């Protein structure tokens, strides 16, 4: 997706091709309690569609449409720096209800795999699920199918990759020799889809390979003369625009503005991260988000933090000095459950941990079903500190809050962590297993 954006920056005069893009209407105004959008950031939901109809039928039989790849591309519109966060298909989350829309039956609220939402409610439902699961406001979505991905790679003449050992994966229609080689579109598609024939067969290992490939493709586009060859870039943009679907709010002007912000971007400004996960407690074949690491990651994105690891020592020291202690945090506790006396029980625990409790009560302004910590300007770090102490609270910026947090215990309230959050390290860049596109270049054969 970043390659697409960069190409649009240099070749805006190919805007006639944009008319080929398919758009879908997603009415986000109908959703309650959306995360607040962050000024200066553009957060894109990027989806790889696993639909097996039309030309995509060559890749197996399967009913419906699923999200084969899910990631959030968070782009700083001033600097062009980007963080791409992969969400595994096997990740189990609380799925909100989605109403039926044309071609989809809808679904009731339930717990399930994050990638299943599109099957029941289309791309709008998938958008809603990712936003609620992460607490990250998503501005737009972009979706591409198998054939579009393959054609895009072929349009730039393939992507050079180092294959450490021979691969034979009939399910992904992939057979590769070991060594440094240029993958064409068909082999590239097989490489990023392949799962059980490589590494440990997990979805996390597959994501590692996808990130490696995205880094290699970015280098191919940015570090070669591809952008200087009109025929190549025309074919590239043609393949892209013929096969992507976006929301109708992602206009040509929006894409052009975003592309202009990314002109001249360095590869070390692009960070690939996988959301921290652990095995599902009831199903070893499924994953759940690791807390507090996942909460810290999404809080950092919402704060516009630089996750590329390029902060200087002074900046890091400033961040650590600004990390609050529990005694500095004021919390109002709101009980949005049917459990009598829950707010008072929560107050007792918070006071024991050193928090200041400004009051307790029932919902008046905000009443989300999911347990949520609301914060005002400058309260993101305090909200993260408190979220790390709870089992399942998400955080969200809200208007009208000054100097205090509002903890709303929802119907999913699951209590507190056993250990205190007072010593939580908010520096996510030291703990995340991420890699920049520049670093990927060093992994050559």
Q: How far apart are CA 281 and CA 285, in angstroms?
A: 10
- Does residue 147 register a pLDDT over 80? yes
Burial 237-273 (b: 16+ CB within 10 A, else e): bbbbbebbbbbeebeeeebbebbebbeebebebbbbb
Count H helices and E strands in the chain, helices first: 12, 21
Burial class (CB in 10 A: 0-12, 13-18, 19+), 157: middle
Closest of 1, 4, 28 to residue 226, by C-alpha: 4
Sequence-separated (6 or more) residues with CB below 8 Å from residue 411: 336, 337, 369, 370
Closest of 248, 30, 28, 48 to residue 138, by C-alpha: 28
CB 385 within 8 A of CB 320: no
pLDDT tens-place string over residues 409-424: 999 999 998 643 333 3
Task: Report in angstroms the alpha-carbon separations of 195 from 192, 311, 349.
Answer: 8, 35, 45
In this prediction, residue 314 carries a pLDDT of 45
| The pair of three-digit structure tokens given for residue 14, joined into one six-digit string | 């190919």
Q: How far apart are CA 317 and CA 224, in angstroms?
A: 38
Q: How far apart are CA 74 and CA 67, in angstroms?
A: 19
In this prediction, residue 39 carries a pLDDT of 81
| The pair of three-digit structure tokens given for residue 16, joined into one six-digit string | 């006639």
CB 171 within 8 A of CB 198: no
Looking at residue 323, the DSSP 8-state letter turns out to be P
In this prediction, residue 113 carries a pLDDT of 92
| The pair of three-digit structure tokens given for residue 70, joined into one six-digit string | 């899910």
CB 173 within 8 A of CB 159: no
- Strand partners of residue 395: 373
> How high does pLDDT run on average in the chain?
79
In this prediction, residue 6 carries a pLDDT of 40
- Does residue 62 register a pLDDT over 50? no
Q: How far apart are CA 150 and CA 183, in angstroms?
A: 10
Q: What is the dihedral of CA 12, 13, 14, 17, to 10 degrees?
A: 90
- Does residue 364 register a pLDDT over 70? yes
| The pair of three-digit structure tokens given for residue 251, joined into one six-digit string | 């206009």
Structural domains of the chain sorted by starting position, each given as residue range(s) with its CATH number in brackets = 2-310+435-440 (3.40.630.190), 324-424 (3.30.70.2390)
In this prediction, residue 54 carries a pLDDT of 45
CB 107 within 8 A of CB 121: yes
- Strand partners of residue 44: 73, 140
The alpha helices in 51-197, defined as continuous H runs, are 117-134, 146-155, 185-193
The alpha helices in 284-432, defined as continuous H runs, are 293-302, 313-322, 342-353, 380-389
Q: How far apart are CA 152 and CA 242, in angstroms?
A: 10
Q: How far apart are CA 138 and CA 159, in angstroms?
A: 30
| The pair of three-digit structure tokens given for residue 413, joined into one six-digit string | 């309230």
In this prediction, residue 441 carries a pLDDT of 53
Tell me how far apart the terminal alpha carbons of the chain are, to the nearest angstrom. 26
Closest of 34, 58, 18 to residue 130, by C-alpha: 34
Largest pairwise CA distance in the chain: 69
Dihedral of CA 50/51/57/60: which sign?
Answer: positive
pLDDT tens-place string over residues 321-330: 456 788 889 9
What average pLDDT does range 363-392 have in this prediction? 89
Q: How far apart are CA 138 and CA 128, in angstroms?
A: 9
Q: How far apart are CA 192 and CA 208, in angstroms?
A: 9
What average pLDDT does range 296-305 have in this prediction? 84
Q: How far apart are CA 332 and CA 350, in angstroms?
A: 10
pLDDT tens-place string over residues 166-211: 988 888 788 999 899 999 999 999 888 887 777 677 888 888 888 8
């Amino acid at each position: 997706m970043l390659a697409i954006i960069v190409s649009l920056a240099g070749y805006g005069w190919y805007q006639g091709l944009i008319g080929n893009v398919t758009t879908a209407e997603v009415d986000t105004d109908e959703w309650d309690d959306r995360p607040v959008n962050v000024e200066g950031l553009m957060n894109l939901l990027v989806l790889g569609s696993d639909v097996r109809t039309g030309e995509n039928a060559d890749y197996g039989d399967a009913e419906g449409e699923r999200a084969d790849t899910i990631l959030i591309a968070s782009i700083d519109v001033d600097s062009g720096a980007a963080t791409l966060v992969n969400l595994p298909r096997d990740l189990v989350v609380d799925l909100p209800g989605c109403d039926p829309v044309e071609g989809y039956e809808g679904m009731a609220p339930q717990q399930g795999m994050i990638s299943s939402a599109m099957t029941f409610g289309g791309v709008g439902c998938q958008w809603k699920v990712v936003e609620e699961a992460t607490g990250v406001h998503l501005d737009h979505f972009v979706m591409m199918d198998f054939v579009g991905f393959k054609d895009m790679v072929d349009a730039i003449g393939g992507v050079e990759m180092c294959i450490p050992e021979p691969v034979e994966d009939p399910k992904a229609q992939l057979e590769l020799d070991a060594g440094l080689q240029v993958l064409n579109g068909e082999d590239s598609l097989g490489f990023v889809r392949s799962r059980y024939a490589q590494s440990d067969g997990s979805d996390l290992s597959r994501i590692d390979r996808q990130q490696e490939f995205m880094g290699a493709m970015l280098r191919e586009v940015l570090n070669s003369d591809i952008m200087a060859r009109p025929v190549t870039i025309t074919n590239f943009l043609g393949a892209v625009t013929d096969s992507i679907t976006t929301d109708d709010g992602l206009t040509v002007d929006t894409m052009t503005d975003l592309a202009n912000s990314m002109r001249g971007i360095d590869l070390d400004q692009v960070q690939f991260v996988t959301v921290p996960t652990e095995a599902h407690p009831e199903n070893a074949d499924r994953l759940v988000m690791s807390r507090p690491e996942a909460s810290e990651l999404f809080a950092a994105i919402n704060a516009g933090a630089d996750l590329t690891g390029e902060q200087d020592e002074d900046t890091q020291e400033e961040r650590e000095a600004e990390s609050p202690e529990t005694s500095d945090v004021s919390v109002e506790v709101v009980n949005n459950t049917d459990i009598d006396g829950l707010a008072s029980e929560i107050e007792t625990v918070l006071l024991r941990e050193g928090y200041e409790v400004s009051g307790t009560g029932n919902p008046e302004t905000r009443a989300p079903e999911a347990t949520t910590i609301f914060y005002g300007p400058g309260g993101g770090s305090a909200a993260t500190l408190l979220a790390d102490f709870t089992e399942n609270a998400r955080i969200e910026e809200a208007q009208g809050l000054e100097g205090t947090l509002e903890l709303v215990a929802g119907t999913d309230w699951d209590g507190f962590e056993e250990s205190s959050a007072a010593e939580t390290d908010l520096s996510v860049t030291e703990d995340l297993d991420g890699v920049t596109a520049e670093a990927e270049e060093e992994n050559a054969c």
